Structure 1
Amino acid sequence: MSEAFRRYGVEIVNPQWTSSVVSEDPPQVVLSLWHHNFSNDMARYVSSTTQWKGAGKPLFYRHLRQAMSEGLPLRVVVATSIDPEEVRKGNAQRAKDFEPDFSLIGRVVRLEDGSFELAFDRTGVVPGGVAADRASGRVKYWHVAEAVEAIGRPARTKEIAEWLANRYTKEDHSDLGANLSLLTVNDVNRRHYDRSRKVWRTDGDHPRDRLFRLGKRRATTYEVFRPHKQGHWDLQPNEAGVWEAVPLPLSALGQAQAEAEKQAFEHLPPLASDHDARVWTLMAVAQRQGQGAFRAKLLEAYDSCCTISGCNAVAVLEAAHIVPYRGEHTHRVDNGLLLRSDLHTLFDLGLLWINQDHTVGIAASLMGTEYETLEGCALRLPKSEENYPNPVHLAAQRRLAQERHGAS
């Protein structure tokens, strides 16, 4: 809770029993309020205080009275509990999370001995200092991933901190624990630091699925997340409502991806020079685009336009196999789609497929992203029906993709 209040630029005293602070610059009252007492639209907050215990209650009331008399705005740290009924009974020490909601600005509507009511509008903005801290934090958590990769073996928090201190001497890494949690696929605390994310499955290639945690407490170490080694994971609440890291069963498509990652990370020769690196980069581009005649045939069949997006920038158009390449006989036009490079990646990962009616289907994990608009879009098909994508091949890819990710 203390860290959540600091994000408003204030320090809470005795967080074990206090839940409010008055800020001087800017003048406002910062309160910790339970999520379950808000209305659905977060516009009203009503709470009984008859069960409140301890010295925090009179201080909280004093701060509300000051807000009323001086016209101070209310700012909010939202607290959540796995068992709201226990909180209502007066047991406020149940497991809970704290997260500032910078959009809310409130006022006191009613203040009585045994209850109070607050009203809120979503007119608030992130404090300037907080915005700067968040921007810095985005950079810093990538540096944390960089540290673990550079160490190259399971590393303790102390080792990671030392590497960061030597490499990024001007950065404050006092939030190292939070940044490690944010990037660690089997750490349930990561959901506290990534509130916008709704799907925690690691088989959707989310960029922040970067680290894997081993051991507990002082024996905890972190290493680079490699699905072929650690498998895929999800965060889910159990029957008691407690969140847990859960290993996922590996589908046929997931197994194929894991094997590909294993080859990519473990079998490439070292790069001895910038020249070698450039050669490998160009080879990778050539392999992605599709060698020779196959890509040329697809460019001709699809009139040099991506079959999904209509993009006509030839440099980023790639020859995607529907049934994976198994020799020259799979270089048939009806076994290919001409796709923009990012769509090719989504197709290969099973996050995108083609429905029986030649419309686009996407995985649930892409909903809420810029790719959501592709759902239901009709393909731009070749002029010649003999070049249409083979329906049997499309059905096989679609079945594997939906088995792994599920339709939106």
Structure 2
Amino acid sequence: MVSLSLAVLPGQGGYLILAMGGLDHKIHIYCGDKAGKFIKACELKGHSDWIRSLDFSLPVMMDGERHNLFLVSSSQDRTIRIWKMTSEAAASGSSLQLRKETIEMTSYIEGPLFVAGSTSYQVSLESLLVGHEDWVYSVEWQPPTLLTGDEAHQPMSILSASMDKMMMIWRPEKTTGLWIDSVTVGELSHSALGFYGGLWQPDGRSILAHGYGGSFHMWRDVGLDSENWQPQIVPSGHFAPVSDLTWARSGQYLLSVSHDQTTRIFAPWRNQVNPGDMIYWREIARPQIHGHDLNCVTFIQGSGNHRFVSGADEKVSRVFEAPLSFLKTLQQATLLKPDISEDFDNVQVLGANMSALGLSQKPIYTHGVKESSISNSNDGPDSMETIPDAVPTVFTEPPVEDQLAWNTLWPESHKLYGHGNELFSICCDYEGKLVASSCKVLALHVFLC
């Protein structure tokens, strides 16, 4: 079994219901008492692939009584199903026996039917939700809101998270009652591999997704009269062992490399409105996203001392230089004026871009972006002159995950060749003018004097 969910059946008996989904494409329903003894009640069929997530709602009030329980399920068949469980009036001893005898026939006509104690429950498919383009890993009902005392209201909202890098909020339309995706949020980065799960904030105003790369993605409804879901700042960092780190030569930020194949920059971000507020360390850039595990890094002398060399499980060292977008973002983070050596007008590289299957990060020039934007404004949609997909951005607040992976790359300026095996360590002299590197070797050399 891959997923399960537990709830209390509506009624006076206090019976429990357990739903389990797995690799056989079926949802197995078990009923049990408070003593923990469960018996199989029925099976729900409909999904055509593994069932990834299940979640029961609270009993929903209809016609003045809480007789309805909803179960939502998601699958690798890219669909979401909502199952409705309706309790019927209690039966006497003789009529209950007759009711049990008709269960098998009723299950073929109206849907599965099972008995818990003296109450029977009819299961029917309430709705089939289609909208995701990849496996739906997670579904969850919006948390209930407390009314008075022990009374709680179950909002009819479902959050789904999928490998298509999208989260959706599903609600029934007020006029027709049809379930539709009323809110859709997600990521556009090519480096993201989709969402493994989604979670509501208890008040229902924020939603959080987590992905393969150890990343969090959060949106919050900031609207007043209507919904307006905006991305929020969340903690970020490496999701594999950190192999090396070094301070910038100016001491303004920290650079780290990891076996997660990324290079990341962390710096203290000051509040522009209230500079005296507490300072928080944030990830402000991801200058290198590689295809090999990164093993070592060091800063060397460069324009404004923002130049580093990194080594990975390959035979070449790569040199990167800070683009204009990073220099201005760093100025926003530290609230300091740039050094004399950091003349922004002399920096012609705005940022970097990299193809999905490439290892080299090619520069994006400031004049190239300007010419491209002018060309796009004059030419039609078939023009060959287009702005690069990942346009570098100057951030006035800490970037979110999608921006870090897409808009903060540094251009690669040089490659240093010479080693015959994978690089292991790298360092530079005090002045930052000489670089020494070593690689993995099987031979041992002993020098005698």
Q: TM-score scaled to structure 2, two decimals?
A: 0.25
Please state which structure has a larger fraction of its residues in strand. 2
Larger radius of gyration: 2
